[in-house]
């Protein structure tokens, strides 16, 4: 079994896989000021809920976009598995050919998502990650990653509304039944969620048009991706565990 960990700006997700079978999945709010002991207890205790011990783990792989966490987390994982975990970054085999202007600036999570998309769904494809930021990445048929867009995430936009305006309240991010809002809360929900749906549909159409790839699959992931995917026919697949599956794929290429 292997331990897979994805460190994002909002959440840290971890899973244990036995082959392709997911045995454990948990999520923790990302906090920079955590010690190796805290990570060790958190991961060990949650694995224990499923009666899995560190001695059963063959190895571990970590993808992180929060560098301040990496050393403490890596130390904790080493104590659990008895091995130094793989870290997604330059030097690991991924099967993805990154042809961006500055490949080293690309977040590890984006590469991991593309690995899973290519392994499971094939190409050409667009991977949309509705995370802290919303990323739209175009994967060519042969696994080349040449183009990508980055937009503010829904929570970033929502936080700007209620933090930077005097009278707008903090609200639940839920899709109202109609875009025809007639109160403050539903007007904010409609603006945020239907606005994101409109953005998503426009970007998908425009990318298909400019890239000349009308038949590409559109795959969504990320915490709020389900809401958007359910509201538009332009997203073909929603896969919440896409990143974890990509980590398994990268581990197998490098083990």
Q: How far apart are CA 115 and CA 79, in angstroms?
A: 28
How many CA atoms does the CB half-sphere of 74 hold within 13 Å? 14
Tokens of 213: 């790839």
Told to judge if 183 belongs to the known catalytic residues of this protein, a careful annotator would answer no
Catalytic residue among 6, 59, 109, 137: 109
* Phi–psi pair at 201, nearest 5 degrees: -65, -40
- Exposure string over 196-217, b if 16+ CB within 10 A, otherwise e: bbebbbebbeebbeeeebeebb
* Phi–psi pair at 214, nearest 5 degrees: -70, -25
Q: Which residues are catalytic?
A: 109
């Amino acid at each position: 079994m292997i331990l897979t960990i994805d460190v994002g700006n909002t959440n840290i997700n971890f899973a244990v896989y036995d082959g392709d079978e997911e045995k454990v999945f948990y999520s923790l709010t990302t906090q920079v000021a955590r010690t190796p002991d805290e990570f060790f207890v958190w991961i060990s205790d949650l694995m224990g809920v499923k009666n899995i011990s560190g001695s059963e783990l063959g190895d571990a792989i970590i993808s992180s976009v929060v560098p301040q966490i990496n050393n403490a987390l890596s130390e904790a994982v080493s104590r659990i598995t008895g091995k130094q975990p793989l870290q997604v970054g330059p030097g690991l085999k991924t099967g993805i050919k990154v042809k961006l202007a500055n490949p080293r600036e690309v977040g590890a999570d984006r590469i991991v998502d593309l690995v899973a998309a290519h392994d499971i769904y094939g190409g050409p494809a667009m991977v949309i990650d509705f995370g802290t930021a919303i990323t739209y990445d175009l994967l060519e048929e042969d696994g080349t990653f040449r183009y990508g867009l980055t937009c503010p995430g829904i929570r970033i936009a929502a936080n700007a509304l209620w933090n930077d305006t005097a009278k707008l309240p903090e609200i639940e991010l839920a899709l109202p039944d109609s875009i025809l809002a007639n109160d403050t809360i539903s007007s904010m929900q409609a603006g945020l969620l239907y606005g994101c749906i409109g953005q998503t549909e426009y970007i998908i159409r425009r990318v298909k048009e400019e890239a000349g790839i009308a038949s590409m699959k559109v795959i969504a992931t990320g915490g709020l991706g389900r809401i958007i995917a359910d509201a538009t026919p332009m997203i073909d697949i929603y896969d919440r565990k896409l990143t974890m599956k990509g980590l398994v794929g990268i581990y197998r290429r490098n083990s």
